[in-house]
């Protein structure tokens, strides 16, 4: 029986047009690995995480308060018990009134300037999410600003952005974009990239997403 990847994308605020493309891309990337993607916006699906064969849960640009108490409890128990969590783009725009969720993602979104091109600095090419990328990667996206810098003890920063290369950044000289860390017995990876629908057809971004998913699912070392 194939293991499941649960992709959750409920929104109670802004809704990204790229959600459907992102879910389709994740399904395409997971299938060759024997992983079956279940895309849902029903928090009751999360309440069943521990009961199923779940390899990872992906929060694909959810926004606002979208989880009930049962879903929150199940997600926390799943990850701290050894599961994998992947947060994509607006995953940092959800569950602002749940402190543990902020710990899980590692940051809280505060805003972004206009979509524009910039240079992504790939800090760690030893991780499957970034191993394929050059040290400097030209990319166009929404460059998310966060309430605090996620870099700290136990956090492995994979990529950052140089604010001198674009207009409107507010975090200064150190602006992480993608990072991972252990959470209890489990693991969490967040990438701020993935605003546009076109991103999910781009080979470099798809490889980034694939490596992140496989690491979260325990299918790739790093």
Tokens of 90: 């607006």
In this predicted model, what pLDDT tens digit does every residue of 138-196 receive, in sequence order?
A: 999 999 999 999 999 999 999 999 999 999 999 999 999 999 999 999 999 999 999 99
- Report whether pLDDT(197) > 80: yes
CB under 8 Å to 47, separation ≥6 — which residues? 70, 71, 73, 74
Q: Which CATH class is domain 3-110+176-216?
A: alpha beta
- The CA distance from 169 to 145, in Å, is 7
- 158 close to 117: Cβ distance less than 8 angstroms: no
Percentage of residues in the chain having pLDDT higher than 90 = 94
Q: Tokens representing 7?
A: 């992709």
Q: How far is CA 7 from CA 11, 52, 91, 216, in A?
A: 13, 14, 12, 13
Q: CA Rg, the chain, in Å?
A: 16
Neighbours of 99 (CB within 10 A): 9
CA distance 144 to 122: 17
Angstrom distances, CA of residue 120 to CA of 26, 29, 173, 174 = 22, 23, 13, 12
Average pLDDT over residues 89-112: 98
50-83 residue pLDDT tens: 666 899 999 999 999 999 999 999 999 999 999 9
Residue 207: the pLDDT is 98
- Does the pTM surpass 0.95? The reply is yes
- The whole-number pLDDT of residue 51 equals 61
What mean pLDDT comes out for the span 37-60?
A: 89
pLDDT of residue 1: 44
Q: 54: left (phi > 0), else alpha (psi -120 to 50), else beta?
A: beta
Contacts of 175 (CB under 8 A, 6+ apart): 143, 145, 160, 161, 162, 163, 169
Q: What is the pLDDT of residue 129?
A: 98
Neighbours of 67 (CB within 10 A): 23
Phi, psi (deg, nearest 5) at residue 163: -65, -15
Name the residue ranges covered by the structural domains of the chain: 3-110+176-216
């Amino acid at each position: 029986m194939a293991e499941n990847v649960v992709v959750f994308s409920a929104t109670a605020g802004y809704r990204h047009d790229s959600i459907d493309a992102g879910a389709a891309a994740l399904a395409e990337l997971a299938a060759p690995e024997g992983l079956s993607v279940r895309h849902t916006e029903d928090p009751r699906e999360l309440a069943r995480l521990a009961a199923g064969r779940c390899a990872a849960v992906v929060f694909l640009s959810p926004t606002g308060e979208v989880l009930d108490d049962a879903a929150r409890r199940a997600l926390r128990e799943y990850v701290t018990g050894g599961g994998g969590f992947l947060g994509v783009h607006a995953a940092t725009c959800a569950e602002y009134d749940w402190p543990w969720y902020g710990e899980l993602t590692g940051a809280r979104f505060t805003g972004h300037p206009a979509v524009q091109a910039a240079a992504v600095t790939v800090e760690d090419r030893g991780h499957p999410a970034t191993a394929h990328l050059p040290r400097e990667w030209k990319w166009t996206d929404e460059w998310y600003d966060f309430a605090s810098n996620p870099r700290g003890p136990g956090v492995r920063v994979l990529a950052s952005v140089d604010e001198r290369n674009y207009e409107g950044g507010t975090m200064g000289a150190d602006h992480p974009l993608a990072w991972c860390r252990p959470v209890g017995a489990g693991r969490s990876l967040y990438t701020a990239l993935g605003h546009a629908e076109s991103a999910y057809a781009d080979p470099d971004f798809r490889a980034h997403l694939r490596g992140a998913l496989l690491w979260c699912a325990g299918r790739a070392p790093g």
